[in-house]
Structures are given as structure tokens and as C-alpha cells.
Amino acid sequence: MRLIFIGPPGAGKGTQAARIVERFEIPHISTGDMLRAAVKAGTPLGKLADIAMKAGQLVTDDLMIGLVQERIGQDDAKKGFLLDGFPRTVPQADALQTALASHNVALDAVLVLEVQDDLIVDRITGRRTDPETGAIYHMTFNPPPADVAGRVTQRKDDTEEACRARLESYHRQTSPLVPFYEGLGLLKRVDGVGKPDDVTARIQTALG
């Protein structure tokens, strides 16, 4: 199964991806997580990415395409994958189509998680992550359990200002992927509002 999750920041892509990869036993390839690991490790890519991410801007297509081409060529991705956060621009989507064709494989579905802008800022500013397990929580909607609460962290780009910049970037640079994948007959729209379990059920229905 080769899947892509698209959606605005805070739509629930990471939350839902963790559940879907378990079901299909495929790797979760999150370009945001890959970039945050590079920032933490202080690599040249991490230093470039850090500036863009803090400002809520996209990292350049060249860097991202190289990163993902290499990742989907690894052994664990041969049986399939779920891409979360890539592609984010039409040039990235074009490059992915070319890379998949060169491996003689194709996408099964592209899911767009739809959440309106006025719900996004609350979701983003309330998000906390467990640095030990990667689990995603929300201080109101899904608070961390007592034994985890003391160690959760907040992402540097989860300020209200950066969130608004990320939303603007989503509408301008990423939302054109919706008609792109609709044109390829791959797009499935999923309502991302409601309880996380309900959203998971909608995704499973959309995937058949």
C-alpha cells in the first residue's frame, strides 16, 4: 500500500498516520519528523531547515526531493509506505511520480484531511509530543497521562505566528495538490473534524 496524507498543519496527519501504518504494516515517512531529527543532530540540512521551519516556511524542493527519493528507496519502503508531509508543492509531486515510475510502482491513494482554518490554531498551540515515544497529545483534547506529562515538549514552530504562516503556505503552495491528485483519480477527501477514532474510521472506509 502506497499512501499520501495531505492536509493543513494540525489536520491530524501525524495522529492518524500512526494508526494507519500499524494496520497496513508499512513505514510512516514524515518529512517533518525527518527534518526535526536533522535539526537535533545539527547536520547541514538541519541548519538550513531550522530557519525555514521556525518561520513556518517550506524547505526548498531540491532538498526535500533528494531526501524523500533516498528514503523511499530503502528496503523497508519496498512493500509500501505512508508519506506524511510530502509532497507539499507541485514540483515535489511531479518528482515523486517520476521516482515511483522509475521503480515501476504507483500510488494507491492520496487522502486529504479537511479541517477548517479556525480550528487549526487551537490544535497547534495545544499540541505536545512525548520525546521518548513520539506520541502526540493535546493539552485539552487528548492530555498526556500523568507519567508522561512531565516530559512532553512543544515544537518550536507551534507558536500562533508560525502556525498562521504555515496555514498561508498550505493554501498557496500545497492545496494545488488536491486538483493535481484528483486529476490522477487518486484523491480521497476525509473530514478531519470530530473524535480521532471517528476520523480513523472515515479513513478506513475511504481506503476500503
Residues that bind ligand AP5 (CB under 6 A): 7, 9-15, 31-32, 35, 52-53, 56-59, 64, 85-86, 88, 92, 123, 126-127, 136-138, 141-142, 157, 166, 194, 196, 199
Output the smallest distance, CB 101 to ligand AP5, in A: 19
Residue placing its CB nearer to ligand AP5 in the complex, 104 or 174: 174
Residue placing its CB nearer to ligand AP5 in the complex, 14 or 27: 14
What's the alpha-carbon Rg for the chain, to the nearest Å?
Answer: 16
Classified as helix, coil or strand, 49 is: helix
* Residue of 4, 61, 17, 15 whose CA lies nearest to 182: 4
> 2, 88, 128, 202: which one is catalytic?
88
**19 given a catalytic annotation:** no
Output the smallest distance, CB 6 to ligand AP5, in A: 9
Output the smallest distance, CB 208 to ligand AP5, in A: 22
Q: Which amino acid is located at 69 in the chain?
A: Q
Residue placing its CB nearer to ligand AP5 in the complex, 2 or 138: 138
Burial (CB count within 10 angstroms: exposed 0-12, middle 13-18, buried 19+), residue 85: buried
For 7, the grid coordinates are 492536509
Output the smallest distance, CB 11 to ligand AP5, in A: 4
**2 given a catalytic annotation:** no
CB atoms within 10 A of CB 8: 26
**127 given a catalytic annotation:** yes
> 155, 164, 188, 189: which one is catalytic?
155
**CA–CA separation, 199 vs 171, rounded Å?**
22
Residue placing its CB nearer to ligand AP5 in the complex, 2 or 13: 13
For 195, the grid coordinates are 473524535
**88 given a catalytic annotation:** yes
Give the residue nearest to ligand AP5 (CB).
32
**CA–CA separation, 137 vs 144, rounded Å?**
6
Residue 84 has phi, psi (to 5 degrees) of -120, 110
Positions annotated as catalytic residues are 13, 88, 127, 155, 166
